[in-house]
Amino acid sequence: MAKAVTKSAGKPAAKPAAKATAKPATKMASKPAAGKAAAKAKAKPARKSALTISMLKPSVNNMTVRVFARAAGLDHAETDAWGHTRSPEYMARNPAHLTPMIEDKGLPRGVLWESCAIMQYLSNKHGLEKFYPKAPAKRAMIDSAMFYLIGTLYPYVARATYPALGFPQYAGEVGHSDAHPDRKSEAQKAAVAAIAEPLEVFHSFFRDGKPFIGGKNPSIADIRLAATLEFLAVIDYALPKWAKEYVAAMEKKLGKAYAGPAGDVRGYIAHVRSQAKA
Ligand SMILES: N[C@@H](CCC(=O)N[C@@H](CS)C(=O)NCC(=O)O)C(=O)O
């Protein structure tokens, strides 16, 4: 949802959802200590996580990296970038003003954006072959699925759902223009209709009878796909049976790592839907 949250002079369109779920920083991979140990742990100054994720809670692009970091057990901290992506400080680090963005020592420019690139980098860095296989042919299929998603499926999903989500669309799109509402509605309907074909490709080609694109276990491409499908709830898109089962299987397999960030997206969708009804 590029340009989504800073519609007008940096004030987010969806503050309530962000607020409802807002907690400044989430530390992962630190188990709660008990008794004396807890008191001791309290006395220590908080250790700074090596990895920081700047993120927006209602976004599925962000949900992708948030689920991944949790599922991979990476020690990380989250910074809510709501309303800050166009600030001079953020733009100086990230001229694309996008989230998710990670800051990690060793990156040539200190930061990295694009959800799939972030998952690829962190998998490479930490040897997470379970999520991103090293064998060239297997890896190529994961890459293909992710590029196909970002280049083909996601633009349809964005055109179909952004109007309902209250996110502006990209410059040059009918939905972004001064066109008559009927034309915008036609464009949205056309995008909704276009989703079925690429969606089926993920099922028949990339999954190919396996539970996940990654095989028995979810890969980074699966995290990207499942998160993307979450947005479709805002338009009551009739997901095929396999897709419903697939998202449920992802949630079952990844547990809280999936449910937590998904809860933020679902909370936002519930909020915009309640606003629309009111
Ligand atoms: N292809 C990118 C899309 C990133 C994106 O569109 N991020 C949006 C949130 S969904 C954003 O940060 N927008 C804030 C802005 O443009 O100021 C990815 O997968 O990470």
Q: How confident is the model at residue 96 (pLDDT cuts 50, 70, 90)?
A: very high
Mutate to test the pocket of ligand 1, among 99, 228, 231, 265 (most ligand atoms within 8 A of CB): 99
Is the Cβ atom of 184 under 6 angstroms away from ligand 1? Answer: no
Q: Supply the pLDDT for residue 179.
A: 87
Number of Cβ within a 10 Å radius of residue 240: 12
Structure tokens at 133: 């296989």
Is the Cβ atom of 122 under 6 angstroms away from ligand 1? Answer: no
Say if residues 59 and 229 touch (Cβ distance below 8 Å). Answer: no
Distances (CA, A) of 182 to 55, 170, 195, 273: 34, 18, 20, 21
Q: Supply the pLDDT for residue 37.
A: 55
Q: Which residue type occupies 43?
A: A
Q: Supply the pLDDT for residue 228.
A: 98
Is the Cβ atom of 85 under 6 angstroms away from ligand 1? Answer: yes
Is the Cβ atom of 98 under 6 angstroms away from ligand 1? Answer: yes
- Which of 1 and 69 is assigned the larger pLDDT? 69
Please check the confidence at residue 20 and state whether its pLDDT lies above 90. Answer: no
Cα gap 111→118, rounded to integer Å: 10
User: For ligand 1, what atom is nearest to the CA of residue 59?
Assistant: 10
Q: Which pLDDT tens digit goes with each residue over 186-238? A: 999 999 999 999 999 999 999 999 999 999 999 999 999 999 999 999 999 99
Q: What is the mean pLDDT of the chain?
A: 87
218: left (phi over 0), alpha (psi -120 to 50) or beta: beta
Q: Which pLDDT tens digit goes with each residue over 41-95? A: 566 666 777 899 999 999 999 999 999 999 999 999 999 999 999 999 999 999 9
Q: Which pLDDT tens digit goes with each residue over 168-195? A: 888 888 888 888 888 989 999 999 999 9
The SS3 assignment for 39 reads: helix
For residue 140, report the distance from its CA to the centre of ligand 1, in Å: 24
Contacts for 98-102: CB closer than 8 Å, 24+ residues apart = 98/2, 99/54, 99/55, 99/56, 99/59, 99/61, 99/62, 100/53, 100/54, 100/55, 100/61, 100/62, 100/64, 100/65, 100/66, 101/53, 101/54, 102/51, 102/52, 102/53, 102/54, 102/65
Q: Supply the pLDDT for residue 32.
A: 43
Q: Supply the pLDDT for residue 31.
A: 41
The distance from CA 231 to its chain's CA centroid, rounded to whole angstroms, is 10
User: For ligand 1, what atom is nearest to the CA of residue 150?
Assistant: 1
Cα gap 38→165, rounded to integer Å: 42
47: left (phi over 0), alpha (psi -120 to 50) or beta: beta
Mutate to test the pocket of ligand 1, among 61, 66, 67 (most ligand atoms within 8 A of CB): 61
Q: How confident is the model at residue 136 (pLDDT cuts 50, 70, 90)?
A: very high
Cα gap 113→202, rounded to integer Å: 24
